Amino acid sequence: MSMVWSTTKLKGLECIAPLVQSVEETPEPIATEVCGTIPTWIRGSLLRNGPGKFEFGNQYYNHWFDGMAMLHQFKIEDGKVTYRSRFLQSDAYKKNSERDRIMVSEFGTVAMPDPCKNFFLRFLSRFEMIEATDNASVSFVKYKGDCFVSTETNYMYRVDPESLETQNKVDWTKFIAVNMATAHPHTEPDGTSYNMGNSYGRKGALYNIIKVPPMKNNPEETLEGAKVLCSIVPADKARPSYYHSFAMSENYVVFIEQPIKMDLLKIVTAKLRGKGISEGVYWDPKQDTVFHLVEKHTGQTSSVKFHTKALSVFHQINAYEEDGFLMLDMCCSDNGEAINNYLIQNLRKSGEALDQVYNTMYRAFPRRFVLPLNVTNDTPTGVNLNTRPASSATSFKTAKDKVVCKFEDLHGEDLYEYGGLEFPQINYSKFNTRPYRYFYGCGFRHLVGDSLLKIDLEGKKVKVWYQKGLFPSEPVFVPSPDAVEEDDGVILSVVVTPTEDKSTFLLVLDAKTWEELGRAEVPVNIPYGFHGTFNPTA
């Protein structure tokens, strides 16, 4: 049953075109109307990031990832909520706005040569490399206690979490030898951060594990002291894997080399051919997915490689070590073509055309791999090395330094009804890298999330929040101040609807009971976004 497209073919999907339309910013805080009750112990801001502008003049972006970054803040205090939003003042946004045309290429859209240049200059400009964009539209992240917005290039921006004002542009390449970094770093309890980024040099492509220290030596500092912990050589240097995130346990960073490949030659020549970088990203189901383990404290890469069948992964759930095993939990799909399906024209379809886009896409499901940590030359082949009781995952040593793994599902049959699960979140501050019981996410009975799900790993039971016509964002867990149990706290999610104008709201669920506590209605339109974080009031 694991090889699933959409478990049931769906018909009559609601058009969500309004959720991918450009909106105006709301730079000054506006009040919201609270229905129900928002607990007074919640003090801080839900910060969200995602695309908010999809065209300049008569030029339109092609891919959902291309839209200009819009930052949102829902500030919660004494049971009341205010809302504000601002466009990130990136160089891309400013150049595009100044000329009212797309001047900077994005993932799926190439900036065409400026018609004001003479023919010879236009011709030459096609031979330039596509410059990396600084449109940091994916997530809010923290390094050394400061707030940054990030995408998947070498650029980030430090932003003021109170005013959402853009502060300074930060370039990873000025600090360490990487050409990009993911928008999903992991953070230790002491504030030390880990990330991953590729480098492209004379030796071809390398995957690099990055470590950023927890503290600043002066207020102006950003990534000073960052270092490359280790580098991993791709299976094919001309076609490294695309990755959106990575996993981290107490002692290991786990890099997942998946068969979503980047054809570097196609990417380098994209501008010449008038194509976006996305044209060079493709799915190769003939390749295995390989897990690489890196010891965090020494930077040593394990010689043992863990193989599984072709899978695509955007987001990890958690990873932890116990009894000589590393449990690796993530949302996986059996097909990696989704990244190329999220074209804005697909998201704006309606009727049968929309149903067809959805029904040809594979859903993502939460799965666990169990990796044995003590594999040596003496470890026998042909024996399932996963001896954990009640775990159906398998790990077989098949050759020296090679272990072949099969996952176990972290869900029951009922999750197929909800379209699988993505945008996973946990009680991160207390349970990341540790044994845990609960995770949260969005159900996907549409191209964007249409329900909020809570999964209890004891019994793999699911709780669901769903209201027809409403589309909730990634659920962010906020622990209550006197929390005893893992799910003592609330879930925050921004809910949008395509059918009513200016009817967005911040939803607050009791994380334990999954009952709605309250909602804060805000009279604005917000496009469906990507990731967010809760920033507590100091």
Q: Where are the domains of the chain?
A: 31-536
The alpha helices in 408-465, defined as continuous H runs, are: 414-417, 428-431
Question: Other C-beta atoms within 10 Å of 217: how many?
Answer: 10
Q: Is the pLDDT reported for residue 6 higher than 60? A: no
Between 1-10, 205-214, 401-410, the lowest mean confidence (pLDDT) is in: 1-10
Tokens 């069948």 belong to residue: 309
Separation of alpha carbons 237 and 187, rounded Å: 29
Q: Is the pLDDT reported for residue 98 higher than 60? A: yes
Contact criterion met (CB below 8 Å) for 363 and 444: yes
Q: Is the pLDDT reported for residue 431 higher than 50? A: yes
Which residue type does 64 have? W
Terminal-residue alpha carbon distance, the chain: 48
Q: Percent of the chain, pLDDT > 90? A: 89
Cα 518 from chain centroid (whole Å)? 27
Question: Other C-beta atoms within 10 Å of 461: how many?
Answer: 12
307 carries a ligand binding annotation: no
Average pLDDT over residues 412-421: 96
What's the chain's average pLDDT?
94
Contact criterion met (CB below 8 Å) for 270 and 279: yes
Beta bridge partners of 378: none
pLDDT tens, residue by residue, 444-498: 999 999 999 999 999 999 999 999 999 999 999 999 999 999 999 999 999 999 9
Q: Is the pLDDT reported for residue 3 higher than 60? A: no
Cα 237 from chain centroid (whole Å)? 25
Confidence of residue 118 (pLDDT cuts 50, 70, 90): low
pLDDT tens, residue by residue, 265-297: 898 888 888 888 899 999 999 999 999 999 999
Average pLDDT over residues 22-27: 98
Buried b / exposed e over 278-312, threshold 16 CB at 10 Å, is bbbbbbeeebbbbbbbbebeeeebbebbbebbbbb
Beta bridge partners of 141: 148
Pairing mode, if any, of strands 402-406 and 305-308? parallel
pLDDT at residue 202 in the model: 80
Beta bridge partners of 407: none
Report for 70-74, 105-109, 335-339: range of highest mean pLDDT:
70-74
Half-sphere exposure of 181 (CA within 13 A, CB side): 36
Q: Percent of the chain, pLDDT > 70? A: 95
Q: Is the pLDDT reported for residue 247 higher than 90? A: yes
pTM: 0.95
Contact criterion met (CB below 8 Å) for 367 and 332: yes
How many residues in total does the chain contain? 538
Contact criterion met (CB below 8 Å) for 88 and 96: no
Separation of alpha carbons 367 and 291, rounded Å: 14
pLDDT tens, residue by residue, 144-186: 999 999 999 999 999 999 999 999 999 999 999 999 999 999 9
Tokens of 166: 């853009």
297 carries a ligand binding annotation: no
Pairing mode, if any, of strands 227-232 and 204-212? antiparallel
Closest CA to 207 of 282, 301, 135: 301
Separation of alpha carbons 524 and 386, rounded Å: 51
446 carries a ligand binding annotation: no
pLDDT at residue 124 in the model: 55
DSSP 173: G
pLDDT at residue 113 in the model: 67
pLDDT tens, residue by residue, 28-53: 999 999 999 999 999 999 999 999 99
Contact criterion met (CB below 8 Å) for 471 and 495: yes
pLDDT at residue 126 in the model: 54
DSSP 19: G
Coil, strand or helix: which one is 276?
A: coil
Q: Is the pLDDT reported for residue 244 higher than 60? A: yes
Contact criterion met (CB below 8 Å) for 267 and 277: yes
Separation of alpha carbons 440 and 465, rounded Å: 11
Coil, strand or helix: which one is 47?
A: strand
∠396-401-407 over CA atoms, to 5°?
A: 35
H/E element, 313:
strand 312-322
Confidence of residue 112 (pLDDT cuts 50, 70, 90): confident
Q: Is the pLDDT reported for residue 306 higher than 70? A: yes
Question: Other C-beta atoms within 10 Å of 392: how many?
Answer: 12
